[in-house]
Amino acid sequence: MNNRILVTGGAGYIGSHACKALQTAGYEPVVFDNLIYGHPWAVKWGPLIRGDLADPQQIEAALDEVKPAAVMHFAAYAYVGESVTNPAKYYRNNVVGSLNLLDAMRNRSIESLVFSSTCASYGIPRVTPIDESHPQNPINPYGRSKLMIEQAMADYSAAYGLRCVALRYFNAAGADPEAEIGEDHSPETHLIPLVLMAAAGIRDSITVFGRDYDTDDGTCVRDYVHVSDLAQAHVLALQALDQGAESAVYNLGNGTGFSVQQVIDACQRVTGRPIKVVDGPRRAGDPPRLVGDASKIINDLGWSPRYADLDTIVETAWNWTRHHFK
Ligand code: UDP
């Protein structure tokens, strides 16, 4: 049986954790990454092909060389703020790059794809928790770029027999429990790594973006989901496709919301270090509350998050922060 899986963006945060989960499950991940944001050190579970989806010939050559049974597609730019100031970068990379991948797969009759989508495709929620039937009205180019690809995939599924599982993540967080890999963005914009860097003395303080939201303590509420649990969901999606499943979309979240202040409190508890907190203005484009309902993947594919507890998520991230940044 052909167990090779091409993993675009496999040198990145979530993609690298997926590679580890793939190898553990008996697959052979081959990473395709341009290394603009990805790290060579994060590619530990199979070969690395350095290439860019912007160039159709590079992805075609990689598919011809690897002849994968399926593709996992993580490669994308993911800075929401940057997508507003430089949308061209996002549409070209995320949308055109994905279309190049889809067409290269179609021409080679590779029909199984697992795609990284996002809760940012829902926009401002009308109801929470958000399930998959919630309308998708993204409020920034990043979310729109991901939605466009979901739509293209649905159309390619209907017309060309592609079978695609799109996974809409809520807030990916934490690190490999064995600290072999973890989060290392440059620039770092995400809450948990920034708070932990403040705890470690790598940064001076953490700024809370707004305390005047309509939430219990006035700070924004998010649904944090462990990156290794996300990775495991990708393996389940792939196994379902292996067994002939049709195209589907699934949310990935824990269904519990934590405020920015609660995250800072958890980081203080776990690290036992003082963390300097500064109050700042709201960040543009932040919905007050984003919490996901993942019942569908729990029921359909048996997804069972192992690290759903916030303190456990923070512990794995703290362990990584101390190993990696010191
Ligand atoms: N946040 C914050 N200070 C920071 C970074 C983030 O208060 O330095 C808040 C942000 O406004 C949001 C939450 O933390 O409400 C999670 O932000 P993150 O960037 O980690 O993920 P997002 O929800 O934007 O995907």
Q: What is the pLDDT of residues 266-306, one digit of tens each?
A: 999 999 999 999 999 998 878 899 999 999 999 999 999 99
Atom 20, ligand 1: which residue's CA is nearest? 190
pLDDT for 109 beyond 80: yes
Mean pLDDT (whole number) for 250-277: 98
Distance (angstroms) between ligand 1 centre and the Cα of 191 equals 5
Rounded Cα–Cα distance for residues 123 and 87 (Å): 17
Residue 312: its pLDDT value, please? Answer: 98
Task: Retrieve residue 202's tokens.
Answer: 């790598």
Is any atom of ligand 1 closer than 6 Å to the C-beta of 195? no
Other CB atoms within a 10 A radius of the CB of residue 7 amount to: 31
Dist CA 173 CA 193 (whole Å): 8
200 three-class SS: helix
How far is Cα 21 from Cα 41, in angstroms, rounded to an integer? 17
- Domains of the chain, with CATH numbers? 4-172+225-252 (3.40.50.720), 175-223+255-291+307-324 (3.90.25.10)
- Closest atom of ligand 1 to CA, residue 208: 7
Q: Which atom of ligand 1 is nearest to the CA of 120?
A: 25
pLDDT tens, position by position, 200-225? 999 999 999 999 999 999 999 999 99
> φ, ψ for residue 65 (rounded to 5)?
-75, -45
Closest atom of ligand 1 to CA, residue 260: 14
Provide the mean pLDDT of the chain: 97
Indicate the pLDDT class of residue 76, thresholds 50, 70 and 90: very high
194 CB less than 6 Å from ligand 1?
Answer: yes
| 183 C-alpha to ligand 1 centroid (Å) | 15
Q: Whose CA is nearest to atom 6 of ligand 1?
A: 191
How far is residue 165's CA from residue 51's CA, in Å, rounded to a whole number? 24
Asked whether 260 lines ligand 1 (CB < 6 A), one says: yes
pTM above 0.95, yes or no: yes
The catalytic position among 13, 27, 142, 307 is 142
Probe residue for ligand 1, chosen from 206, 209, 213 as the CB with the greatest number of ligand atoms within 8 Å: 209
Comparing 71 with 80, the larger pLDDT belongs to 71
Q: Is the pLDDT of residue 193 over 90?
A: yes
User: Over 80: is that where the pLDDT of 326 sits?
Assistant: no
